[in-house]
Chains A and B, each alone.
Chain A
């Protein structure tokens, strides 16, 4: 039987390498054609190697197998030499960590923009959005996560400079919410219902701070989940972290699409890399990119990006049913993809700019060229980058 067992292994080995090899080559046809038209051998080689790696047959199933093995082995840090390591929190959620940063420069940048806004008699608010990790106690043994520390340092510096700030983390604590329930298990973003709630927190803070003329009853109304329809897509979404570790490691998330029960009418404009996007109609007609939500495909689709449609350089939403004239400039990160739609339920005009993609002009010039009542910077700690603070 000794020879037979080796023979069976060899047959299975050959089966695997031939089936997956041939399958991969068939998927890489375009890469092979491109490779042979390259000018030099190095480019040819790189094209073939990256094609084989990216289009490997059943790649997602292999990632799932790897995730299952890592889970069984009790690994809570999935190394990713080409990207960012993924960590599994004690509650089973996946996350990445942020390094320790010196926040001095970032505080100076916010101060400059605040001064400019204030000089133009525009109200200003810096909103610190929470990171998925509430404390290092949740992290794997020995791992320190600096998102909260960096946020604390920035907020402290901003307060020293008398810049108005709102710390959503404190609002979470005040509301007695369980931090982990506010975020997806497999993605670093907060959930849509969290975004809706956070929008209400921001508007309430602005009203209390600047007396914008918004009625408290209306604020309660527009940001109350009971005034929305919630469609839950069960086990629908594999977030960015889950896509890297596999669904068998991270699990999958339910995905909620939250639409108003009340009437809505919007003009929507977005500037994307592929051109201008113009939509007109009710909330569910303009705020979503349905082809990212309607189909369940764990690895190919990103349901979260179905809110607004992704990260656009500029998103401009006019609420035609709003009874105020407020115009808000929101300097955003991807958390606001889910928040901007709900801000727009009450605010007349919301212009959201993502500085990772927008570089037409400085925010100083942009403020000068438009007529805003309020400027909001809303960032989570992963947005502490030079690009996103390069106003």
Chain B
């Protein structure tokens, strides 16, 4: 079930709000039970069979949580339990997400003819299994109590706001909220506003950018002479905006929905495109994923606090390969992850975040980062490496492609408004401008009108039936 759909906004959500706040308001236990089953229903709506996988994951991780809590005093036993838990969770992801890729490549490299199984990818599997791992490890680290109640673990892992596309909520950050959260009118109100803003980002900005990006990448599929250089650049700029507003819009909706029910999730995006380095970019982009890998992979490996530089580089390589592969089972994602590994490693070697470098021309740092962001999104978006390299050729006019064509003119004309607002809202400029205005009744009324208008326009696109892809659903 998509957040940006009639059935979610007008049927599922009002029903859940009504039952939670009106019928079950006196019992936290019943509220949690209801949210859990509502979340299972939410998942089953899109994946009726795979909901069983999620239920299995909940039960197994609940058991591992209890075990690691019971045997925490024995370091060896606790570590074995964690190892088993991680193995179980990674195995689930491996089978559903990576097995086909692995078998195809084994056949390719070794000339074997192992049957390649056709396995469908359960939506959100990368998100909920990472949350499940987080649960057991955070229980071990005593960042949160082991839940005796299976429903509470189920609610943590499957809660519908963040189930499908994150943020990856760390157990330690919300363990107390499962039982002791305090809903408030203020939180609910802020949650509603956040949801509307996220919906607008997704429906108005991301979906309209998707048209441009999809056209550009479809054109290059037919050969490099069918995509002009101008359209190639426009396409990747559009994709850069599409993926940001798609994912951050979804995160906004998830955070907003969580707030409506008293949960406070951590922020997942912080204007990543204003970054001046790859290091900074990954502190602002998909923060929950970056911090997950940092806390559960990078630091346990030793992080930067290792004696040998080679070991530090190795730790970075593991994290960035894993980050790339997490996004998808294809060499394109591996290459994308490797790109970030190289950039971050070089930055650490030359201390790019130091103000001593390009201190008077910060725009060079911005330009450097944005250039590689665009380059990276090409290989991330392309269906395979061949299409990615053809796209690069078009971008840099290597070949017979025209410099500019009618398609570019058409999309520039049609999407100018969305492009301008997309670029504007991917920076904190709008927020800074808004903060200059003193709050008074007039500005507040304008704000109310703006947000409600945004909601109405977003809903009009949904009701009319418009292009509505969700990129991060593939993960």
- Interface residues of chain A, those whose CB is within 8 Å of chain B, are 1-10, 12-14, 16-18, 20-22, 24-25, 41-42, 45, 48-49, 52-53, 56, 59, 62-63, 65-66, 69, 73-77, 79-82, 140-144, 246
Contact = CB atoms under 8 A, between A and B. Distances in A.
B185 interface: yes
B464 A17 contact: no
Contacts of A141: 406, 409-410, 413
8 closest residue pairs by CB, A with B? A142-B410, A66-B460, A142-B409, A21-B10, A6-B189, A10-B189, A62-B463, A142-B406
Interface string B120-136: 00000000000000000
Contacts of A45: 45
B211 interface: yes
B192 interface: yes
B397 interface: no
Nearest to B12: A21
Given A17-B10, A20-B10, A142-B407, A62 B189 contact: no
Q: Which one of A2, A8, A66, A246 has the greatest number of beta carbons of chain B within 10 Å? A: A66
Interface residues of B, number: 59
A7 B192 CA distance: 9
Contacts of B48: 41-42
A21 B11 CA distance: 5
A24 B13 CA distance: 14
Contacts of A14: 14, 17, 192
B9 interface: yes
Given A18-B14, A79-B211, A73 B439 contact: no
B213 to A, nearest CB: 13
Interface stretch (B296-304, B338-346, B352-360, B450-458): B450-458
A56 B6 contact: yes
B384 interface: no
B408 A142 contact: yes
Nearest to B44: A41
B467 interface: yes
Interface in B375-431: 405-414, 416-418
Contact of B460 (A17, A69, A140, A144): A69
Contact of A79 (B195, B451, B459, B467): B467
Given A13-B196, A56-B463, A66-B460, A3 B417 contact: no
Given A5-B444, A6-B190, A77 B196 contact: no
B461 interface: yes
A5 to B, nearest CB: 4
A9 B410 contact: no
Given A9-B196, A13-B195, A142-B412, 5 more contacts: A18-B14, A18-B18, A49-B5, A62-B463, A142-B413
B193 A6 contact: yes
Contact of B189 (A9, A24, A49, A82): A9
A21 B456 CA distance: 14
Interface in B459-475: 459-461, 463-468
7 contacts: A5-B447, A9-B448, A17-B14, A21-B9, A24-B11, A41-B48, A76-B413
